[in-house]
Every structure is written in C-alpha cells, then in structure tokens.
Structure 1
C-alpha cells in the first residue's frame, strides 16, 4: 500500500499531501509543547491530545510523554494498552495495540518502509497488529506487516517482521520461538 502518493508542483512524485505534512507538523508541535514534558501520571491528558488528532484510544490506555507517534490517525490503542517510555510508533500505516498489550521502553513499531525495487525507493506502508495481552519487551523492533498474536511475547531487543503465534515467547534477531506462555486469560474468564 502506497503511503498516499501525490504529485508536487513540478510533477515530481511525493509520498504525502501538503495537508498530511501540515497535520504532522501541527501534531509534533502540539506534542512537544503540551505533552512531551508532562509527568507519567498525566495519561488522560495525553489520551485527549491523541484523540483530538484522530487516534482511537481505549479506556485507560497509557502513552508516556517521551513516546512518539508519527501520525495519530493511524494509531489504535485498546483498553489499558501501553506505549512505553521512549517508544516510537512510526504510524505511516495503521498500528493497532490491543487491550492490555504493552509496548515497552525504547521499542520501535515501524509500519512503513521503502520499495527496494523502485528507482526512487517509493515509500509504502503495511499495518502492524499487536493483539490483546501481548508484550513487546524493551528495545524491540517490529517491522511493517508484523502480527503479534494474543498473549505473545517478543523478548528484549527482539526483531519481528512476520507473525508471532498466540501465547508463545519469541526472542532474537530474527525472532524465534523459544517457549510457550501460560494462557492466563482462560483461567481468569473461567473464574
């Protein structure tokens, strides 16, 4: 999926419209002035700002002030989902973080890349999905098109470009399955 290809005034291919670029400029300025310096406890305020710029934010979703969101309309966070300290959501394409899912500090979610077969390295986007109760541990890289299944864990500094099966633990670069994870959610709902 192309990231919104348009043509500039001299017929040159551009990946984003001026409106899109202006919205990102306004968003980054707003986040810098009104959110980036706020204490961790001000989650509600940061949720409000993200919603004002088009993000879908669930009840109790937490985004730290030091986190960065490239384009809020492409971000969906479920109830009590977390985008941790200094995490970066490169929302060139849609990024969905499910209920109770955690993206830990210094992790990178990259929903856009370049076409290596294009003479101009045209930008294109592929969505990222992190299902409920999944955990992307500290310092991970999640690439375009990745799908992290319900309850799956990507261990610290892991790299994921594909699909992680539900209720499993992955680690390494590239991420490899190393263990199963207890399906605690079945135990909670059965009670």
Structure 2
C-alpha cells in the first residue's frame, strides 16, 4: 500500500499521483492528527503521548524512544524505533520504505532520512524506494542527509551536514558531501580492553 505507483501509468510528471488513494488518505489523516494532537503537547509528557500516537498509526516504538514535536514522519507504519532511539527537533523521516532506528540511535536537529529517489533514466521518472537502517548507538548529526538504502552501522557518526549515500562502517566518523571517513570512534568493547591493559 506504500509502494509507489507505476509512473508509466500514473504519469506523476504530468500531475498524476505517485501513490494510491488509500495511501494518500492515510497520510492526510496522519498529518492532521500529528498537527492537532502531536505537536502541541510539551515534553516530558509529550514524548509518551507521541509514542502512543505513532503506535496507533502502526509505528513500532521501543521503551524510552523519543520523537520531538517538530519532527516530520511521512508514514508511521514504516517506522521502527528501538529503546532510547531519538528523532530530534525538525528531523525529516521520508519513509516511503522502512526506516529502522536501533537502540540508542540519535537523529539530530533537521537531519533528513530519505528512502525515496527517482530513476533518472526512466522517461516517466519512476519513484523508487529503499530502506534505511540506523544501527545501535549511531549518531546522525544536525542537518545531515542519509540516502536510500544506506545502513549506518553500530556506533558510526555522520557529522553535521554530511551526506551519506553508501553504508557507514561501525565505529567510524564521516563528514562532507559525499561523506568521507574522517576519524574512528572507540567502541565500548575496545574501551574495556584499553582499560584492562593500562
């Protein structure tokens, strides 16, 4: 139901829809509910209330997961957030395809998680979608961009305004557009080893 329509038939470049009527109606209802009921309640109670609203629309929300009022979620049932995962203020979750946040994953202010793109070789500009996975304890910093099909592995960091279009290995730090590795990050396991050998 969230799959893009065949652009050759629906012709979105000429004003036709990219998604089914049912999908568009579901998203319209969700936007109204979020605007009227999700954005007005301040923290800390608001975090509990927003988890409830997201679950009511099909999202899988772990204990202590946090979605700020100004975050935008395209389709709740394509969102899965483990315990302590966070979507920060102004974060954009364009989840045509599933977006998964592992335990403790953080998406900071105005970062953009984008599962959608277009086939630029197709004369009808077909909309495509691939999932995004943010593994445990990774951090997407302010105004960074994560593209379709990307996995940000455990503990990896995408620096502010960085642009990730391919997978980021575990416990590494990336920045720039396109993102390049700029540092390594010490994993908790490695920290334990270092303390034991000091």
Q: State the partner residue of 1:19.
A: 22
SS for the counterpart of 1:182 is coil
SS for the counterpart of 2:53 is helix
Q: TM-score, normalised by structure 2?
A: 0.88
- Out of 45, 49, 55, the residue aligned to residue 59 of structure 2 is 55
Bigger share in helix:
2
The Cα shift of 1:119 comes to 1.2
CA RMSD for the aligned pairs?
2.0
Alignment partner of 1:170 is 2:174: yes
Q: State the partner residue of 1:89.
A: 93
Q: State the partner residue of 1:3.
A: 3
Alignment partner of 1:135 is 2:139: yes
Work out the CA distance in 1 between the residues paired with 2:6 and 2:59: 24
The Cα shift of 1:71 comes to 0.6
Q: Deviations over 1:12-32 (max 9, x none)?
A: 354311111100000000000
Bigger share in strand:
1
Q: Deviations over 1:33-59 (max 9, x none)?
A: 001222131101000000000111111
SS for the counterpart of 1:32 is helix
Work out the CA distance in 2 between the residues paired with 1:58 and 1:164: 24
Work out the CA distance in 2 between the residues paired with 1:53 and 1:186: 40
Q: Deviations over 1:132-179 (max 9, x none)?
A: 000000110111111100000001110001010001111111111111
* Conserved? CA contact 1:61–1:81, under 8 Å: yes
Bigger radius of gyration among the two: 2
* Conserved? CA contact 2:6–2:126, under 8 Å: no
Gaps of 5+ in 2: 12-16, 193-198
SS for the counterpart of 1:163 is coil
- Out of 112, 118, 126, the residue aligned to residue 116 of structure 2 is 112
Work out the CA distance in 2 between the residues paired with 1:66 and 1:90: 14
